[in-house]
């Protein structure tokens, strides 16, 4: 368990606590709906905005421990004050990280002026091709 805690990505914290203490601590907070998970043996994983790397690490741990005969799985999660059942967690595993999102936004912002420049550059070029075609007599529209 110590090795797993050390291998968790930055922004993720694993805590083992009694269910009754967890219920008391989550009362009147945005995590109050976690009470639905506070049955049986639990380890509580708190994750900041980079959810996918933490989920991937837990899934890899689950695979490793399954080989040894130990079964672990998510019993639920709280996201934006809403309880998520285990089957609702699968899409969270493929969420991009905050850095990935920033990169996508930066690339998108960079493409706008580039495409605008290419588009505005094409207008004079096509006019020049048209004028040249008219001057050379190659135009089908205007004949001299």
Per-residue pLDDT of the chain (144 residues; tens, 9 = 90+): 777 777 777 888 888 888 888 888 888 888 888 887 788 887 787 887 778 888 787 778 778 777 877 777 777 777 777 777 777 777 777 777 778 888 888 888 888 777 777 777 777 777 777 778 777 877 677 655
Q: Looking at residue 143, what is its pLDDT?
A: 59
pLDDT of residue 77: 76
Q: What pLDDT was estimated at residue 59?
A: 79
The CATH-assigned architecture of domain 2-94 is 2-Layer Sandwich (3.30)
Q: Break the chain into its structural domains and give their ranges.
A: 2-94, 96-144
DSSP string, the chain: -HHHHHHSPTTEEEE---HHHHHHHHTTSTTGGGGGG-SSS--EEEE-S-HHHHHHHHHHHHHHHHHTT-------EEETTEEE-GGGSGGGGGPPPHHHHHHHHHHHHHHHHHHHHHHHHHHHHHHHHHHHHHHHT--SS---
Q: What is the pLDDT of residue 144?
A: 54
């Amino acid at each position: 368990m110590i090795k797993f805690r050390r291998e968790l990505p930055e922004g993720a914290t694993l805590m083992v606590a009694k269910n009754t203490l967890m219920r008391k601590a989550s009362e009147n907070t945005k995590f109050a709906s976690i009470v639905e998970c506070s049955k049986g043996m639990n380890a509580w994983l708190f994750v900041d905005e980079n959810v996918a790397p933490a989920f991937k690490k837990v899934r890899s741990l689950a695979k490793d421990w399954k080989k040894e005969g130990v079964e672990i799985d998510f019993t639920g999660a709280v996201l934006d004050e809403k309880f998520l059942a285990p089957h609702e967690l699968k899409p969270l595993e493929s969420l991009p990280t905050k850095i990935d999102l920033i990169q996508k936004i930066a690339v998108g912002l960079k493409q706008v002026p580039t495409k605008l420049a290419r588009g505005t550059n094409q207008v004079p070029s096509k006019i020049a091709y048209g004028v040249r075609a008219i001057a050379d007599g190659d135009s089908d529209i205007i004949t001299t």
